[in-house]
Structure 1
Amino acid sequence: MAADTSVDGLQAIEDWFARQGWQPALFQRRSWAAFRAGQSGLIHASTGSGKTLAAWLGPVSLALEQGRAPAGLRVLWITPLRALASDTAGNLQQAVDGLGLDWQVETRTGDTSASVRARQRRKLPQALVTTPESLSVLLSYRNVEESFRQLDAVIVDEWHELLGSKRGVQLQLCLAWLRARRPGLPVWGLSATLGNLDEAMQVLLGEGAAPGVSIAGDTHKTLAVRGLIPATLERFPWGGHLGLAQLEGVLDYLEQGDTALLFTNTRSQAELWFESVLKARMDWLTQLALHHGSIDRKLRKRIEDGLRAGDFRCVVCTSSLDLGVDFSPVDRVVQVGSPKGVARLMQRAGRSGHQPGAPSEILCVPSHAFELVEIAAARRAWAAGRVEARRPLRLCLDVLVQHLVTLAAGPGFRAEQALAEAQATHAFAGLTEEMFNWCLVFITQGGPVLEHYPQFHRVVEQDGLYRVEDTGIARRHRMAIGTITSDAQMRVKFLRGGYLGTVEESFIARLNPGDVFLFSGRALELIKVRDLVAYVKPASTRRHSVPRWYGGRLPLSSELADTVLEILEEVDRGIYRDPEVEAVRPVLEVQREQSALPGRQHLLIERCRSREGHHLFIFPFAGRLAHEGLAALLAWRIGQLQPATFSLSVNDYGLELLTPTEPPALTDTQWRLLLSPEQLLDDVLAALNASELARRQFRDIARISGLVFQGYPGRGKTDRQLQASTGLLYDTLARYDPEHKLLDQARREVMEDQLDIRRLRAVLERAAEQELIIMTPKHFSPLAFPLWVDRLRGRLSTENWRQRVQRMLVTLERNADRVAKKRK
């Protein structure tokens, strides 16, 4: 359709802004001009700065000049969370309505009704907000090429959230397919600040693409970070006990504002804080809510609507409210526990002051004393622009296999073209023809071990075209599309009445009928379990356990850890620049007097003896994942010098090795050998039960690649059944096809993800340059004590564990007093 030369799209947008009392930001105008010039790129700015309109109004301005909108999809908007889709679609629709453009904006996610999805397969709206998974489902239908024939733009929201995951790999493959059919298709990403922005844009635009445009927000976000300093601090802190003790201080802060978000790092922690706030302020009963991913979607939606309307005094939440949704009434944000990363702190703080130019504020509540130093470090790192990178994944063959079956279920594909499309992505730029041919054999025959089983013959090749001909296979594949994997979920329902949400099957499996647990802000008694449903009733007793959802223990980021060490080096010189660090001075002074403070230029090692045996404590400050690998590695290497049995404990700051027999007195040279990066991979594989770790990792790979089917809705396999079936597959392939590429991928993912082998290597390479400070304190130091507590907590009952901790605290405090008196 010819353009309407009487309409100036950009001027229409300027006039609409003026009617709203707004002024376009410079970066928004730059974004509109870049899109109109046919460019692609990345818009990176802080939360609430106006990124959405910066991306959206470029294509809208051209559409205004074209007159009446033709039928068919023009703009595809990708969001990482389906919970954001309806909110985003509403904002986009509001803009086009205000500009008088007759576009329809719709959503397509797992929450979209079957009737709407069927209608969309016949005719898509002008703009569609969807997720990577739902986009893949669209590609699995025969007429998909016609559906995207008029596509003018793809916009990927919150790209930083997809970049370092298999969902990002899945999206890269979909974008490559779209580009192959729409050469020159503009693709734009929206992102918060990252440590690797150039790489993030390259991954989004694909290999060999024309250079993109990187557009930054106009102003640096004003962010106030404050730690809640406890009235009193123990000189020997331990993890977890300090958080709720500061409830009164948190309530005082909440009362100063109108609407607050209280973030926790885990769902179980959210449940405890919600219960505690409610008990303390029953007058907030109707103004208090709980929001996390296991709660029923309809309830979450009601809470989000209430937040937008300003109906809540406080919503206790997890990362479920980190992203995207604009809750303008929010003027207070609380972070319980260390944010563990600079980017996460910025993201959560940005939920307040969610308007262009508005300042953001966050109150951080430490769960133990050392987290006060982390809070000060996070503020410094943000001010210095030290933000974590999100590293993209490579050669995830399970995702490629799934994508190929998706295309085969849809329009079909030819091998040469599909290979070229895959190699045009960052994820598969290194894909060889041999690897690709292996994938083709895998989806058509199942490979040499599985070729005798018809269910693995999913794709048929005829005259060079690969297609799925069995409608049952196509239907099952569509149900399994996606790369999000987790432990099996069990529905929680009242025995008579409503559905409350989902919880890990492994948690319910530990309970007996009559046991009480805390979920969705309620104390619930388990009645029975049947067909993956846990039936409950309100509990009369107050004694309960709390679900321990997986994935909640986030490792300390490198940027934050290095800034913590920088602060500790200042403390070692008697410098206390931050109020949070000044507050924890008594703890740090005891650490320095009884042992030493860690730093970037030296590695602290402590040797100590107790009734349990001989302890080695090492403090690299590299995060718990790297420390898990390092602890196993050191235990194995020391065992080569002298046979010994070790118990291990790790946290974000360091690790403990405990042995009942005295380990060898190691020289500096021997320590250097123990901490050498040489033979790292071989020694880690020897130190760990890597085969069992890979066996467990293979479960997710098997599901993504289609080796196992998770089951139909309401008839899903249990976590135990999936583990058994994938374990059998793993053992069979390992025995009869040991070079199977998905087995190799499982081993690689264990090294890269579970053990953070890259960071572990960096720790050892740094240790080679550091001075080794070996101390022999008579008692546990403040840094060593939390490691001892964590190990004890894992093997004693709650009552016995707390008694042991209190007795040890008394001993350590008395010793610290004696040392202080001698110094005076």
Structure 2
Amino acid sequence: MDHRDTTPSLLPPNVAGWFRSRGWAPHAHQLAMVQAAAEGVSALLIAPTGGGKTLAGFLPSLIELSERPREGLHTLYISPLKALAVDIQRNLEHPVAEMRLPIRTETRTGDTPEAKRRRQRAHPPQILMTTPESLALLLSYADAGSIFGTLRCVIVDELHALAGTKRGDLLALGLARLARLAPAARRVGLSATVAEPDQLVAWLSRTGTTDGGDVRLVQGRAGADPVIDILTTRERLPWAGHMALHALKEVYARIREHRTTLLFVNTRAQAELVFQALWRINDENLPIALHHGSLAVEQRRKVEAAMARGDLRAVVATSSLDLGIDWAAVDLVVQIGAPKGASRLVQRIGRANHRMDEPSRALLVPANRFEVLECRAALDAVRAHTLDGERPRPGGLDVLAQHILGMACAAPFLPDELYDEIVCAAPYAGLSRDEFDDVLDFVATGGYALGSYERFHRLKTREDGRMAAAGPMVARQYRLNVGTIVQEAMLRVRLNRGPVLGEVEEYFIQGLTPGDSFVFAGQLLKFLGVREMEAMVAKGGEGDPQVPAYAGGRLPLSTHLAERVRAILHDPDTWPGLPEDVQEWLRLQRWRSVLPPTDGLLVETFPRNGKRFLVVYAFEGRNAHQTLGMLLTRRMERMGAAPLGFVATDYVLAVWSLRTPSDLDALFDRDMLGDDLEAWMDESSMLRRTFRNVAIIAGVIDRRHPGQEKTGRQVTFSSDLIYDVLRKHDPGHILLRATRADAAGGLTDIRRLSDFLARIEGRILHKDLDRISPLAVPVILEIGREQVYGSATDELLEQATAELVAEAMPELVPRGDGQGRLL
């Protein structure tokens, strides 16, 4: 609810005077948050960027501390990003100083010096900014009760970005413990606009349910609608590819026209390539910077500071700048490549302008023809004010195991009391007592298969029935390894006898030989070799450089946008406004074959180069398509179709074989998610990789020991040994259950695949063609194409495009650029 009738009389004179001195008037939602606090009610504020959400969250605390000054921790602010915590602390210092409030504000993150951390535990500031990991660490100390006993408010910023993630699971468990240590503390959630606000209300509630009645929903007034354009390039629009390098001259022209431009891309590899390409055409030497999560923290902070000063004309960034940090100087946001989700696009657009009463400006730059449709779908979704919404998933059992161990490090506990506390956290509201007992037994003994190993005995039961950490070394290891962020094994990249530039994944470096060149941190580098945990490099290099591709880098296409893409494809009345070559592509598809239906599935089959191709227009995202491809090839093998391989994009799946399956209804039967799925998951290396992450989070495998850190090879070797032991001797072990749940929800997207198979049952439209169709050209171009390095590969891709277009559409006269015109 939005308390629009609330008056500024809620503000004490010094706070009201501060607003007047700034020429501001408080927003209705800011006053509503003050009213909720006055009534002692927790609140969830949902408001667009630029609406003063952060100030609304802190305002009640500033008022209370102004009227009743006191020592001890009063307000705990939790952010998903260390940089955001630092930024908020810096911004909060201004009103605190200008109102002359007796308040200390500090940050505590992984970058905080040890001496400062010790002092904060003994003498906490009134307002502390931290992260979910640092909160978990603080809660594991024996003095957690004295640290948090004075707490009166917990603010969770960017709640939509945490809920539904393992970091959010860990934080929800931490809040449940804070409710016991500080029962008088209110909870405040700050979120961008979301599709299902009730889910966030439940997450914030002390009951973990939507009907708890202890959280007031405050809706901020909608800001001005953004002005969004889709770039209609003068250059050739590619049929395939994801980098959008063809359009960067036109993007550069937009950068020149604006004061500061924020360019978002979807992967770190794309960020490096786009940054390099922009510098090659930057004839005016405009200050353009690069920002992504693998760069050295010093480099990222340098870029952030330059942005804050207004020194940069453009920054190429990944999701590392999706959240929170706002620069009023940004007057254009450019999304390079399709956004993959309407909510993500709204979040990114919100980084521009940062004023509710003025529209943000954004430019979408599709990288290929299907991405034109996705960009149009995203634009329509934003204009219709509809967002992506996914069903909440149960909390991770590996995260629960970590939390139980952390609570044992803090103080002995009774299992009954701890269980009652944990089910008050929304992700674990449905946790059964049996499942809790299984996790508890695993933390205590390692479970049946691991119980004979002393190192897995981490809890001991005392005579009074309470369980405690088995010894000081258990607590020490927990605190060294706390957290749920598990990266692939990384190596620092150090300029020879110079600074560290950032980190790349170990497997990428293992594929290089000394003398190879690669692009990183916006520079062309020559690989010299590996020394300890560092990749040594020099500036320069020869030949076509490689670009590090990071695991999990690609974002999945949202269900909401997939539905809108299918609707655009199916309805020619929506085509006006699309580029003419895209309209021509769709018209030829309708003439040569048929357009994909909105409520069923189009499957095309055709011969090519002595093989039979089966093309599935599913539009369910790359992860679901990868899983579907694996399952279809297993089933086709049994049908005698002799499958040879498959390729998946966000939109389409293509399988090639020696023969076409005769019964498509049987091929796509939902029972593939039974034995076929089980057999494939047991055989695949994916489960091993997933198990490794689960084992690290659950504390079975330590990433760090005092004074040393394991290499990626050591961690993988340890996890593989444990995985094999459990599969053989204890297949129902809690770690294997957690691994399967993770695999089903993430890499394989089983729930989405299940919904897809149910939706298409009895609705498969099969077109058996004599040649490739126009709509199939982009996915066939992806076959064997992992990365694009250098201009020679681009030329080969253009040749392949021209050949496929001529094959699919002989009615076109080739123009030598892979496009053509109708006869």
TM-score, normalising length from structure 2? 0.93
In structure 2, distance between residues paired with 1:712 and 1:283: 50
Against the structure 1 CA distance between its residues 91 and 681, is the aligned structure 2 distance closer, same or farther, given a 3 Å change threshold?
A: farther
- Residue 210 of structure 1 deviates from its aligned partner by 2.9
Against the structure 1 CA distance between its residues 724 and 623, is the aligned structure 2 distance closer, same or farther, given a 3 Å change threshold?
A: same
Deviation digits for residues 263-284 of structure 1, max 9, x if unmatched? 1111111111111111211532
* Match in the other structure for 1:614: 612
- Residue 750 of structure 1 deviates from its aligned partner by 1.1
Is it true that 1:427 corresponds to 2:427 in the alignment?
Answer: yes
* Match in the other structure for 2:643: 645
Is it true that 1:760 corresponds to 2:753 in the alignment?
Answer: yes
* Match in the other structure for 1:635: 633
* Match in the other structure for 1:320: 320
- Give the length in aligned residue pairs: 804
- Residue 784 of structure 1 deviates from its aligned partner by 1.4
Match of 1:592 among 590, 593, 607: 590
Deviation digits for residues 552-579 of structure 1, max 9, x if unmatched? 22121111111111112222xx5434x3
- Residue 376 of structure 1 deviates from its aligned partner by 1.1
Is it true that 1:576 corresponds to 2:593 in the alignment?
Answer: no
Amino acid paired to 1:176: A
- RMSD, matched Cα: 2.3
Match of 1:734 among 723, 727, 743: 727
Is contact 2:546–2:789 with CA below 8 Å preserved after alignment?
no
* Match in the other structure for 1:662: 659
Amino acid paired to 1:482: G
Deviation digits for residues 295-332 of structure 1, max 9, x if unmatched? 11112111111101100011111111111012111111
* Match in the other structure for 1:4: none
In structure 2, distance between residues paired with 1:150 and 1:797: 57
Question: Which residues in structure 2 correspond to 1:185-584 (within 5 Å)?
Answer: 185-205=185-205, 206-207=207-208, 209-233=212-236, 237-240=239-242, 243-284=244-285, 287-462=287-462, 463-468=464-469, 470-541=471-542, 543-571=544-572, 574-577=573-576, 579-580=577-578, 582=580, 584=582
* Match in the other structure for 2:697: 704
SS at match of 1:427: helix
In structure 2, distance between residues paired with 1:814 and 1:432: 60
Amino acid paired to 2:18: W
Stretch deviating more after TM superposition (251-260 or 424-433): 424-433
- Residue 742 of structure 1 deviates from its aligned partner by 1.3
Is contact 1:46–1:192 with CA below 8 Å preserved after alignment?
yes
Is contact 1:166–1:393 with CA below 8 Å preserved after alignment?
no
Amino acid paired to 2:227: A
In structure 2, distance between residues paired with 1:284 and 1:799: 24
* Match in the other structure for 2:147: 147
Is contact 1:523–1:538 with CA below 8 Å preserved after alignment?
yes
Against the structure 1 CA distance between its residues 541 and 817, is the aligned structure 2 distance closer, same or farther, given a 3 Å change threshold?
A: same
Is contact 2:10–2:31 with CA below 8 Å preserved after alignment?
no
In structure 2, distance between residues paired with 1:609 and 1:275: 40
Is contact 1:516–1:544 with CA below 8 Å preserved after alignment?
yes
Is contact 1:395–1:430 with CA below 8 Å preserved after alignment?
no
Amino acid paired to 2:770: K
Amino acid paired to 1:629: T
Against the structure 1 CA distance between its residues 802 and 607, is the aligned structure 2 distance closer, same or farther, given a 3 Å change threshold?
A: farther
- Residue 816 of structure 1 deviates from its aligned partner by 5.9
Is contact 2:681–2:687 with CA below 8 Å preserved after alignment?
no
In structure 1, distance between residues paired with 2:391 and 2:95: 34
In structure 1, list runs of 5 or more residues that go unmatched. 1-6
In structure 2, distance between residues paired with 1:253 and 1:593: 38
Is it true that 1:103 corresponds to 2:103 in the alignment?
Answer: yes
SS at match of 1:283: coil
Against the structure 1 CA distance between its residues 8 and 600, is the aligned structure 2 distance closer, same or farther, given a 3 Å change threshold?
A: closer
- Residue 480 of structure 1 deviates from its aligned partner by 0.3
Match of 1:776 among 749, 768, 781: 768
Amino acid paired to 2:468: R
* Match in the other structure for 2:178: 178
- Residue 494 of structure 1 deviates from its aligned partner by 1.4
- Residue 794 of structure 1 deviates from its aligned partner by 4.5
* Match in the other structure for 1:14: 16
Amino acid paired to 1:238: A
In structure 1, distance between residues paired with 2:87 and 2:456: 40
Against the structure 1 CA distance between its residues 540 and 813, is the aligned structure 2 distance closer, same or farther, given a 3 Å change threshold?
A: closer
Stretch deviating more after TM superposition (169-178 or 217-226): 217-226
Question: Which residues in structure 2 correspond to 1:103-142 (within 5 Å)?
Answer: 103-142=103-142
In structure 1, distance between residues paired with 2:319 and 2:326: 15
Is contact 2:151–2:184 with CA below 8 Å preserved after alignment?
no
SS at match of 2:44: strand
In structure 1, distance between residues paired with 2:545 and 2:796: 22
Is contact 1:9–1:65 with CA below 8 Å preserved after alignment?
no
- Residue 101 of structure 1 deviates from its aligned partner by 1.6
Is contact 1:46–1:221 with CA below 8 Å preserved after alignment?
no
Stretch deviating more after TM superposition (681-690 or 498-507): 681-690
In structure 2, distance between residues paired with 1:724 and 1:405: 24
* Match in the other structure for 2:818: none
Against the structure 1 CA distance between its residues 154 and 370, is the aligned structure 2 distance closer, same or farther, given a 3 Å change threshold?
A: same
Against the structure 1 CA distance between its residues 246 and 691, is the aligned structure 2 distance closer, same or farther, given a 3 Å change threshold?
A: closer
SS at match of 2:276: helix
In structure 2, distance between residues paired with 1:692 and 1:221: 48
Amino acid paired to 1:218: R
Is it true that 1:165 corresponds to 2:165 in the alignment?
Answer: yes
Amino acid paired to 1:663: T
Against the structure 1 CA distance between its residues 327 and 798, is the aligned structure 2 distance closer, same or farther, given a 3 Å change threshold?
A: closer
Amino acid paired to 1:694: L
In structure 2, distance between residues paired with 1:622 and 1:458: 43
- Residue 748 of structure 1 deviates from its aligned partner by 2.0
In structure 1, distance between residues paired with 2:110 and 2:213: 34
In structure 2, distance between residues paired with 1:220 and 1:355: 8
Amino acid paired to 1:519: F
Is it true that 1:45 corresponds to 2:47 in the alignment?
Answer: yes
- Residue 454 of structure 1 deviates from its aligned partner by 2.3
In structure 1, distance between residues paired with 2:223 and 2:666: 46
Deviation digits for residues 678-736 of structure 1, max 9, x if unmatched? 46233322355556432221101110111011124773222222111101001111212
SS at match of 2:674: helix
In structure 2, distance between residues paired with 1:395 and 1:420: 15
Is contact 1:288–1:313 with CA below 8 Å preserved after alignment?
yes
Aligned sequence identity (%):
36
Amino acid paired to 2:397: L
In structure 2, distance between residues paired with 1:393 and 1:220: 31
In structure 2, distance between residues paired with 1:134 and 1:385: 36
Against the structure 1 CA distance between its residues 817 and 135, is the aligned structure 2 distance closer, same or farther, given a 3 Å change threshold?
A: closer
Stretch deviating more after TM superposition (56-65 or 607-616): 56-65
Against the structure 1 CA distance between its residues 210 and 690, is the aligned structure 2 distance closer, same or farther, given a 3 Å change threshold?
A: farther
SS at match of 1:793: coil
Amino acid paired to 1:648: F
Deviation digits for residues 603-641 of structure 1, max 9, x if unmatched? 211111111400000101111111112222222333333
